[in-house]
Every structure is written in C-alpha cells, then in structure tokens.
Amino acid sequence: MAQVTTEGLIPSARELAREILIHGPVSRAELGRRLDLSPASLTRLTKTLTDVGFVVEGEEVGDRSLGRPVRPLDVRLDLGVVVGVKLTGDAATVVATDLRARVLRQVERPLGDHAPDAVVALLRDLVEEVAEGERILAVGVALGGLVDDRGVVRHAPYLEWVDVPLRDLLAQPDGPRLVIENDLLALTRAEHWFGAGRGLRDFAVVTVGAGVGYGLVIDDRVVARRDSGVGLAGHIPLDPEGPVCAEGHVGCSTAMLTISGITEEVARRLGGPVTYAEVLSLAGDGDPEARAVVGASGVALGRLLALVANLTSVNDIVVSGEGIGLLDVVGDVVRSALDRDRDPLAAPVDLIADVSGFDEWARGAAASAIQSIVLDG
C-alpha cells in the first residue's frame, strides 16, 4: 500500500490517535482523564484505531494507582517513514522521519534550476533516496511563500514562483499523500506536537534567519489563515533610527533581525564583508561596531517578542531559526527589551530557544504530513 489512512474515523477517534501519537506510550487511564472519556467509550475508540493498524498495545508496566500491570497504548512506528522537504532558493533539504517526526536520515542537494519541472524531478529523486526502500506514508513539502489549500504555490519569492501547482506536479498515481505548506506554519506544527511547544495549549513561534517569521497556537490548535505565508512579520517597525531594508522601511524587522540585514550593516560599518558567525564572534569579543549592531538587533527582537505577547496574550514564545545565535550574545538585552515593553501587571513571558538547526524546517514539513494523516484521514 502507498498510503496510510484514517479515513472514516470519527472526530473523537482522531483526537484519541492524536493524544497517543503525542504522548504515547500512554495508559488508558491517562487517556481517559485527558479526553474525559468513559472506559466504555475509550475501549470502543481504541478498538477502532487498533483495527486500522494505527495503534498497538505496549509491554506490560506497573501502575501504582491501579495496583496491577497495564498495557500502555502507542502508535505503530514500524508502518513506514514520513518524508519532509524544505525548499529554499538555494537547496532542498529532505529528511525521513518516523511518525513522531524523529529524523532517521537526511540528504541535501543544491537547486541548480528554479524551474518547477526541474525542482520536481530533483525532489522525486531525493524522496526515494532518503526513504531507502521503506514504505513512504506521506510527503510534506515546506517553502517560504503563500500556498493555498490545493497545494498551489501562489507566491514564493526565493524560488521566483507564481501560481505553481506543486502538489499536482509532484503527485504520482497511487503515490503517498502530499502536503504542501508554508514553512513557518509547518515549523509551528512541529513545535506544537513534537518540539519545544509540546504540551502547551497556547504559544507563539518567532523565527529569525533568512527572514522573520511568526506562528501561533491558540487553544491547542495552530492558527492557519488565508494570509499565512504572506510574510506579515517581515516589516514591522522596531527601531525609528535603525537601518533601511530593501523596501525602504526604516528599522523594520527585516532590517534589524535577518541575517542579511545584520551582516550588511556590520559590513558597512567595518568596510568589508563579514559572515553572520563572524558578526556574532566580533560582538561577543567586544568589537564596538559589531556590538552596537547586534545590541540594537537584540533590542529589536525583544520589542518584537513583547509585541507578539501583548497582542496575543500568550506567555510562552519559542524562538527558532538560523539566526538564533543572536540570543547567545545578547540574550540579556533581548530579555530586558521584552520586559520594558510589557505592562508590570502582565504575566512573565517564557522564552524557549529551539537550537535544532536548519533540518528543523524539513522536520516541520514531515510534521505537517503526519498531522494530515491523523487529522484529515
């Protein structure tokens, strides 16, 4: 079989599958408490999931509350692999994961051609390569841009794509399910179910790197809207005396927080090109120019985080992305700026740094595909 499906399952069975996937191995008693299910309902729903081969009973373990051994429930991790793809303007990063989005293998190739047919051909090869002959349960593709619910890439500036029907181009007869999604949404899904936000019902994700991104989880659900993928966090004004971005905005999030914005400003001041790692190293060593730029970026990041918390009322923010090294150098500056922009009566904001690295974006694509299996059927 090419696909694993939960088609036909009622919503309560999908919620049970979700809980077992995120928290398993987990006892029936704990599941009943989490979902407010009676023993009879839990037994019926569990049988539904075991009948379709998605859930199995684990080895017996002692349960002090019951005074007897129990068999916790878990998802079957031997069903096959889920493949996640992160596309940038320069490369395709592809991972094979299990159903808990744990990376098993990874490959990466440069994109020599942005033409959709060339990219699709490369992705088909990489998906097969990373799967290594295992059954592919689903494939998720994440990219920076606007993607509609039919898998059409409406706009992807890094790839120079407009209205590219990527899901249709990549689909094959009897092939695995395909999920095409904005990369920030995909990363937020990964953080929600399997990452730093696991167990939190409300939190935000803020990414800094090639761009500035923002995702939101409210009441245990990822907020996905029509404009997700437009890049609305990219030009928020943060410093009226800051540098100017390519669009002419003074001190916006792109100018203050992206890797290119930071390195270009330091290069201008020093009179020569520098890498992001060099900028952070110079700032850490006390170079006045690098320190001034990185310090201003730290203040800007703190203000952005405060703005997110103030407008959404979340008290947990996951900070991720390729530019997260900024926190290592000026984390105290970020924290101070965040606190200054919060009301003294407001609850403190917990910052959770996710330093997983660039493959986390590909893992996010896999997480989107896994959620599709569980929630969409």
Tens of pLDDT, residues 180-215: 999 999 999 999 999 999 999 999 999 999 999 999
- Using pLDDT thresholds of 50, 70 and 90, give the confidence band for residue 376: confident
Peptide bond into 72 cis (omega under 30): no
- Which range, of 51-65, 99-113, 348-362, averages the lowest pLDDT? 51-65
Does 3.30.70.2190 match the CATH number of domain 198-353?
A: no
The CA distance from 216 to 297, in Å, is 22
Q: Which of 127, 138, 142 is nearest to 365 (CA)?
A: 142
The CA distance from 344 to 326, in Å, is 26
Identify any residues that bridge with 178 across adjacent strands, giving them in sequence order.
Answer: 139
The pLDDT score that the predictor gives to residue 226 is 86
The pLDDT score that the predictor gives to residue 213 is 94
Task: Work out the average pLDDT over 260-278.
Answer: 97
The helix/strand count (H/E) of the chain reads as 12, 17
The CA distance from 192 to 320, in Å, is 13
Question: pLDDT tens, 44-64?
Answer: 999 999 988 899 987 777 555
The CA distance from 254 to 210, in Å, is 9
Q: Is 185 exposed, middle or buried (0-12, 13-18, 19+ CB in 10 A)?
A: buried
Question: pLDDT tens, 149-171?
Answer: 999 999 999 999 999 999 999 99
Question: pLDDT tens, 312-324?
Answer: 999 999 999 999 9
The pLDDT score that the predictor gives to residue 5 is 56
Asked whether 266 and 289 are in contact (CB, 8 A), the reply is yes
Which of 6-15, 60-69, 119-128 has the largest mean confidence? 119-128
Assess whether the region 81-190+360-376 and the region 198-353 belong to the same CATH fold.
Answer: yes
- Using pLDDT thresholds of 50, 70 and 90, give the confidence band for residue 227: confident
Does 3.30.365.10 match the CATH number of domain 11-75?
A: no
Element (H, E) at 126: helix 116-131
- Number of Cβ within 10 Å of residue 123's Cβ equals 22
The pLDDT score that the predictor gives to residue 70 is 80
The pLDDT score that the predictor gives to residue 6 is 65
Q: Which of 283, 278, 354, 287 is nearest to 316 (CA)?
A: 354
Peptide bond into 288 cis (omega under 30): no
Going by the DSSP 8-state scheme, the letter that residue 232 receives in this structure is T
Percent of the chain with pLDDT over 70: 95
Output the average pLDDT for the chain.
Answer: 93
Asked whether 222 and 249 are in contact (CB, 8 A), the reply is no
Percent of the chain with pLDDT over 90: 86
The pLDDT score that the predictor gives to residue 64 is 54
Task: Work out the average pLDDT over 3-27.
Answer: 84
Domain range 81-190+360-376, CATH class? alpha beta
The pLDDT score that the predictor gives to residue 1 is 34
Q: Which of 45, 40, 38, 44 is nearest to 19 (CA)?
A: 45
Amino acid at 169: L
The pLDDT score that the predictor gives to residue 2 is 40
Domain range annotation of the chain: 11-75, 81-190+360-376, 198-353
| Beta pairing, strands 136-143 & 81-87 | parallel
Question: pLDDT tens, 299-348?
Answer: 999 999 999 999 999 999 999 999 999 999 999 999 999 999 999 999 99
3-class state of residue 320 by DSSP? strand
